[in-house]
Chain A
Amino acid sequence: MNYVVLIAVILYEIVSIVGVGLLVARKDKHKVHQEGSFAFAGGGLPASLVGITLALTLLGSAHNWGTCQNAASMGVIAVWFGIACVVMMVVITQVTGPWMRRTGAKTSGEFLGKIFGKTSGRLISCINAALIIGMCCLEVETIAVTFSSLTGWSYTVGAVVGGIFAVLYVLLAGMKEIAWLNLINAILMYVSLIAVFICLCFGLPGGWDAVEATMKASQDTAWMTSLFGNSALIIGFAIPTALGASLFHGVAQTGYQPIVTAKDNKTVKKSLWFAGPINGCFCIIPALIGLAAFSLVAYNKYGSMMMTPMMLVELLPKPVLGLLMAGFLGVDLSSFAVMALAPATIISNDMYTLYRKDATEKQKTLISRVCIVIIGVVSILVCNFQPAVVEMVNWSFSFGVPIFVMVIIGLWWKISQKASIITFVVTWIAVCIWSTFGLQSYLGLANFHVTYIALICSLVVGIITTAVLPGRPGLFRKSTSLAQRV
């Protein structure tokens, strides 16, 4: 057990949470309390904070330990996950985020309700909440990896301790505090990754040249050393990741939560300069260190998820290991925080208010906090049974594709609640039949990603049903027509 490193990492997390919490509380003490501060940071954040919060909200387990795990099967091509996320940032900041803000919606549930009606909006919110809770489980999985590698505890014990830590992290901070913590963790994370890379230049047996030579020694692994080494993976992994991530987070609460905190739409658009590069470049070093772990036979016995952390625990000097673990843990905690806040906010703002129309902000905050604890418990229980992190994330994203397609149709063409529900249900069934129930394997189309199926289904069913079924003009179609008449 690395006692010193473990204590240093936990101390860092506690000091940073408490310190930032006190600073924000002192700053807000003399200001009038703003409604929605816990979940929405009261609005008014500048482009840098919005961009960094967005980058780190959507940067978590799939980027750090998930990419290391992915590198064991696809080498440096794992970096494409980060590149695909830049496309997602473009969609959120330049297209859907500003549009959603123009409807006045505070949550994605509210936005979807304006297009599809309250019932359909809540149905989608329920599906999104369930998928996001699944992603919270992935975050707890990687938090467990950090604790397990530092302590030598079993993965299950690591998950319990890590899950409790994650819930406390969320409960102690609201959105504004998490925004500032993200900034601090962003700097720590990048500094630590660069330090890790430099240390491994000396720590790896034979250095990075030996890693490259080992991989290139066999035709079976030589392609793993190039970003463009396997076109099948570009088609079967990189492009579906870009599509799925963009279409899911483009209209989901996870992408919208940081956007709604911006001062105005111009700030949202400017935030891409921060969000894109910070998120997109992150996967470079995790992919390289994952490939290094894969190239060293001694660590293969730990399996694809644990081989990289075990290699780092053995090869890195303790201060650098501590920096890395603190940074990774900070990132996974902040992703868990915002992902846990997303369904909690949906439940407290969109669903609790059905029961209590006059619910106060204090009551909604209490409901949010209770939901966060429940999500933490579920995440701890489920995280032991997850498939590979990136694979699970991409599967989840495919459920968001029909929602995105019908949102675009509902904004700019025609709103038809029946067409939307038919499109959602048919596409979700198709996704399940293709991936979960094995049609993809049966047909031998391993490279035809489930996201492509979701997109084809959504477009075909969505367009046909919208054309045939009655509806009313799209939300923005009315507005632009009015503007032209004026």
Chain B
Amino acid sequence: MAMCGMTALSTIIIVFAITALGIVIGKFNKFGDSDSIVGEEEQK
């Protein structure tokens, strides 16, 4: 059971760490926050 516990715990920690890091990366992607279409901006 130790093998199962360690595998599960390690995986969950790594998964949530990558997810949280991903959200932080997303915050830096300000360009991706907007919904306006890029081509339409240039026409205005």
Spot the interface stretch: A272-280, A350-358, A370-378: A272-280
Q: Does B32 contact A79, Cβ atoms closer than 8 Å?
A: no
Chain A interface size, as a band, is 35 or more
Chain A residues with CB under 8 Å of B39's CB are 103-104, 114
Does A266 interact with chain B (Cβ within 8 Å)? yes
Quick one: CB contact mask for A54-85 with B, threshold 8 Å, 1 for yes?
00000000000000000000001001001100
Q: Does A95 contact B32, Cβ atoms closer than 8 Å?
A: yes
Min CB gap B9→A, angstroms:
10
A104 to B43, CA, bound (A): 14
Chain A residues with CB under 8 Å of B10's CB are 227
Q: Does A94 contact B29, Cβ atoms closer than 8 Å?
A: yes
Q: Which of B3, B32, B42 contacts A98 (CB 8 A)?
A: B32
Question: Which B residue sits closest to A87, measured CB to CB?
Answer: B18
Q: Which of B2, B19, B31 contacts A212 (CB 8 A)?
A: B2
Q: Does B7 contact A287, Cβ atoms closer than 8 Å?
A: yes
Chain A residues with CB under 8 Å of B36's CB are 102
Chain B residues with CB under 8 Å of A478's CB are 42
Chain B residues with CB under 8 Å of A272's CB are 19, 22-23, 26
Question: A269 with B26: in contact, given A95-B32, A479-B42 (CB under 8 Å)?
Answer: yes
Chain B residues with CB under 8 Å of A102's CB are 31-32, 34-38
Chain B interface size, as a band, is 20 to 34
Chain A residues with CB under 8 Å of B16's CB are 276-277
Does A482 interact with chain B (Cβ within 8 Å)? yes
Q: Interface of chain A, helix or strand or loop or mixed?
A: helix
Kindly name the residue among A87, A89, A94, A95 whose own CB sees the greatest number of chain B CB atoms within 10 A: A94
Chain B residues with CB under 8 Å of A120's CB are none
A227 to B2, CA, bound (A): 13
Q: Which of B4, B6, B18, B41 contacts A280 (CB 8 A)?
A: B18
Q: Does B22 contact A86, Cβ atoms closer than 8 Å?
A: yes
Other than the given A95-B26, A102-B35, 17 more pairs (CB < 8 A) read A82-B15, A86-B15, A89-B22, A90-B21, A90-B25, A94-B32, A95-B32, A98-B29, A98-B31, A98-B32, A212-B3, A227-B7, A265-B33, A283-B11, A284-B8, A479-B41, A480-B31
Residue positions of B touching A, CB distance < 8 A: 1-4, 6-8, 10-12, 14-16, 18-19, 21-23, 25-26, 29, 31-42
12 contacts between A and B (CB under 8 A): A83-B18, A90-B19, A94-B22, A95-B26, A102-B34, A102-B36, A209-B1, A265-B32, A272-B22, A280-B15, A281-B15, A479-B41
Q: List 5 tightest A-B contacts by C-beta distance, closest first.
A: A98-B32, A90-B22, A94-B26, A280-B15, A276-B19
